[in-house]
Structure 1
Amino acid sequence: MKHWYSPSWFSLQLWEQFRFTNPLALYLIPAIGVLFALRYYLHRTAQQRLNMSLDTSGSRSRSEGFMGGIVRTNQTLMSWLRFLLPASVFVGMSFLLVALARPQLVETHRQEQSEGIDIMLAIDVSSSMSEADMPPTRLATARRVAQTFVNGRKNDRIGLVIFAGEAFSLCPLTTDYDLLKQYLSELNDQMINTSGTAIGDALARCINRMRDPTTVPTDSMQTAKKRTKIVILLSDGDNTAGNLDPVTAARLAKAFGIRLYTIAVGRVTESNADAATVDEGILKTIAGIGNGSFFRAIDAGRLRDVFAQIDRLEKAPVRVVVYEDVQDFYRIYIYWGIAFLLLALLLKNTIVGNVLED
């Protein structure tokens, strides 16, 4: 910190950064100037003057004329010195008022706190997801949109389950979004050789990940119980494989307080000639049981809108904590005010304060 007598305390840049706790005190500074001006106006006719007559006629010597010029110069200097005392008092009182206004430098820090939510992505990687009715393929579009969804989340734990004729947990709940996006980028329809669509088994894998206490640190078990839990299941077909009925799995999810969102991807066709059919019946059913919503996405734009809508619906409350680092500098200007008032007291006991004012 700079010394109190440093000239930098009067820089315009520093004063623009100051926050004054009592700014009304600054308005008293012009009032003091008005009082001094009024005092000078009322007392100017009562001031004692020393009139000097200088005879500079031809009978005087040239040296006397020179002395007369010196006297006139001294009179001008003395007339200005008489303002030194009131100026010192004015400046001293002004600095004391600045100190009373309490100048501060404030540094603000914002911290966002959120417990976040748990999200499991269940993505169908069966052969029907390679259809090109959502260019380039259904799976490629779903993969890209899911990565964008992950990018928009904060403080949430997200996991990944893939399924076809079987279901596998590919990534546990994590906040390592880079790792999760890497898993998403590697999804393809060759990852599971078993044909079919095991929606019930996929839901079971998601439920197990969310209820597994080993995925949660011991000291945050109580917090984890309060976290919102959702499953986003993306598929293009009916349940045709697996060991667990999707309706039973949906009821189990509801019992654990897990909300289900289902997305049917692809265009509905009347035959299998051009594209694999999309059966949205079971997806609607389990979404209703799981207190969630069902969505239909026939193209990439609609799929992005669906994820954006889920993103808006499932937001954990965020508490914004604002910290202010406050530094007071009123003492600096108290020192300056006292210094100028002491100067005024010194001037009062000299010729400047006595002879010129009396």
Structure 2
Amino acid sequence: MGKKSKKQQQLPESCFRLTHPAVSSTAPIVDTHTHLASTFELYRHKYPEGQYTTVFDFVRGLYVPAGVQEIVDVWCEAPVRQLWREFADSALTEESRRDLWGGMGYWFVMGVHPHEASLYTDAVEADILEAMAHPRCVGWGEMGLDYHYDNSPRPVQQEVFARQLRCAVRLNKPLTIHTREADADTERILKAEVPKDHKVRPPSCLPSFFPPTTAPQIHIHCFTDAPAFAQRLLDWFPNLYIGITGVITYATNTDTATTVRNMRPSALRIVLETDAPYMVPAPVYAAPALAEFKGTKLAVCHSGMVPWTAGFVADLLPQEEGAEGWDAARVMRVARENARAVYGV
């Protein structure tokens, strides 16, 4: 038989076990936006004989050894996948988080993605409202507008986005926002539906000293649009943060990097995320575990890859005279505090 082409090659499962030197007890990984069920399902599809047969095996085998401390899992399908309850209930006690999740903190948000806005119904909303009462639920989303694909008609997207925002504001929940090529309408609807200084009360899991008046509550997930749009949102909403995924490392995307460069390093209003199973950060391929597989792509992204995005962000920031230098660990520490402020995790 002829030599297998690189396009057909698949990296061995061992390549997913990655540890970044920046990860430590003071700079753990906090992934503020991931799709864990989809990530595990894609892994099982790509590696049907893989060693991880349950989502808990998957997390204990890949996430915990990589230094993942907390994840915010995103459920955004319509109708609502009832699998969310199994995941969330399994993280209710310290014992179950230790035994099943390897000590990793599991939290979730729920909403309906703009791709599926046409499927939003009263019954779907009722299911989401039920999930909002769960102790591991920390926000509503992802929701928003996507004019790149237009999988749902734009007027429907706008109506459903506004409806979900009203529900979330009424419940005092943090907001996880998806926006793509819809700058004007996203900005208009957010300003119309969300109070400028809308803040959330700290979840009961937080210590009593956590000040409710300083809890930012808007997360613009996986930002890739115009830097000027990001700046307008940051200027208008003092409690808004920009989500940074591995897409910032791609040569085809310069807007996200410019958005970060435009921020004052002393007020770096970002949170780190993967949007796994999508968008493997490009610098991952320089990791020693992948050195012998040059040119072959990983089929699945996971939360353990966050530090490579953090390192890329650090390289964008100016080194200030007399101040601590920027590196992946410092970016992760700042983003970790921001995640605590946004979601209370």
Normalising by structure 1, we get a TM-score of 0.28
Q: Which has the larger radius of gyration?
A: 1
Query: Which gives a bigger RCO, structure 1 or 2 (Cα 8 Å, sep 6+)?
Result: 1
Identify, as 1 or 2, the structure richer in strand. Answer: 1
Normalising by structure 2, we get a TM-score of 0.29
